[in-house]
Amino acid sequence: MRTIRLLLLTILILAVPAASFAQFGVAITIAPPALPIYSQPIAPADGYMWTPGYWSYGEEGYFWVPGTWVMAPEVGFLWTPGYWGWAGNAFSWNEGYWGTNVGFYGGVNYGFGYGGLGYQGGYWNNGGFYYNRSVNNISGSSFHNVYNKAVINNTTYNHVSYNGGTGGVSVRPTAAEETASHERHIAATAAQSEHQQAAGKNHALLASVNHGRPAIAATAKPGELSGHGVVPARQAGAPYRARASKSAASKTTAARSNSTNGNKSVENKAAATRTTGNKAAENKSAATHTSQNKAAENKATATRTNENKAAGNKAAAARTSQNKASENKASENKASATRNENRAAENKAAVTRTNENKAAENKAAKPKEGRPATASKSTAAHAQPAPRQQAAPRAEAAPRAQPASHPATTAHAQPAPHPTKEAPKPEERPQK
């Protein structure tokens, strides 16, 4: 039976993510004991931060986790303690965390600077932590940043260790604490987790054994549960209730429940886990198929786009070549037409010159042809001074040969040679 309850408790604890600060690890109906009264051990060195002690819960009920000095995981980070809170039907543990500001920790007065609201034990400045000597046990020359400021703790609830429920602290988070809870956080360090586990294994730290007054109330460093750095509790914070120290079978609602219900819960949770896992696997597979199909479609689309673009470029190139050929042909035709026009103009000009030359020649030839016949006769009628042998008629100049292309010019009649009249012979004188 004990083994079964241990197994159930272990499954419940492992089911809660360690980094989920507001998640509940264990739900129980018995309130945790009051916080014990103890002194703070001397800080081991500069840079260590105080983390107050608290009651945790294990297989055998509540056990005390001693307060200890811990190195901050990052410069500028402060510790927000965890706290027990009433959730309407059970007490649940809210994990602590590291952050740049201290958030809500249930209004529980843990002491040593954690009076229920914020932290008055020190602050960060230019990479160094300044310790308030009034609430911190600081000694030695290694501490350079030390100041002294009085702190008024909230004593209304004395040493109550939980928020809500019967007898609990009735404090709600402020706006600043709500804001801090949504800032970047870091879970408890490995040293803090090991410190808590070591306390859970120490039988003397069980509330059922020490009755709210643990012999190891605080330590100088995490995990050091013995030696000169250990500080015992002076007294319990309140009278211890015996019912909290009963056997494990009667400590919690889960322990009082029969194994059948526990097993059913575990089976249901396992089934839910398998369902969630299967669903996640199916979703992942579907997402993978979808991504692959989408990738294939995108690739096909890209291929078609490239092919269409190539075809379009080829068609455009062909059209450009055809247009260019047409333009070149049109230019050649235009140039040929221009040359024909120039040739026609030259031929026309040649014809014009030829006609002009012919007209000029015809004009020059007409005066000779038009001489009146009387003029020749008159010339011929003149008496010759002495008889002389008639000269042969002067040959007229042969008509100028005309171009072959103008037959009309050669057809003109040449003037007839003037008739030569014989001179009257002298009268013959009688011979003597």
SS3 of 352-409: HHHHHHHHHHHHHHHHHHCCCHHHHHHHHHCCCCCCCCCCCCCCCCCCCCCCCCCHHH
Q: Which of 195, 224, 217 is nearest to 67 (CA)?
A: 217
Closest among 222, 251, 315 to 30, alpha carbons compared: 251
Q: How would you write the pLDDT of the chain (432 residues) with one tens digit per residue?
A: 445 554 555 454 444 433 333 444 556 899 999 999 999 999 999 999 999 999 999 999 999 999 999 999 999 999 999 999 999 899 999 999 999 999 999 999 999 999 999 999 999 999 999 999 999 999 876 788 999 999 887 677 789 999 999 999 999 999 999 999 999 999 999 999 999 999 999 999 999 999 999 999 999 999 999 998 999 999 999 998 855 433 343 444 443 344 334 444 444 454 444 545 555 555 555 555 555 656 556 665 555 656 656 655 665 555 655 656 556 565 566 656 567 666 766 767 666 676 676 766 666 655 444 444 443 343 333 434 444 444 444 444 444 544 444 444 444 444 444 444 444 455 444 454
Residue 81 CB neighbours (<10 A): 21
* CA gap 263, 8 in Å, rounded: 8
pLDDT confidence of residue 407: 42
Beta bridge partners of 279: none
Q: What is the pTM of this model?
A: 0.54
Contact by Cβ (8 Å): 177, 104: yes
What local confidence, expressed as pLDDT, does residue 359 receive?
67
pLDDT of residue 372: 44
Residue with tokens 């609602």: 253
* Model pLDDT, residue 396: 45
pLDDT at 139: 85
d(CA 235, CA 37): 5
Q: Rounded CA gap, 35 and 185, in Å?
A: 26
The count of C-alpha atoms lying within 13 angstroms of the C-alpha of 277, restricted to the half-sphere facing its C-beta, is 6
Residue carrying structure tokens 């020490």: 210
Q: How far apart are CA 303 and CA 352, in angstroms?
A: 72
* Cα–Cα distance list, 367 to 45, 371, 372 (Å): 149, 7, 10
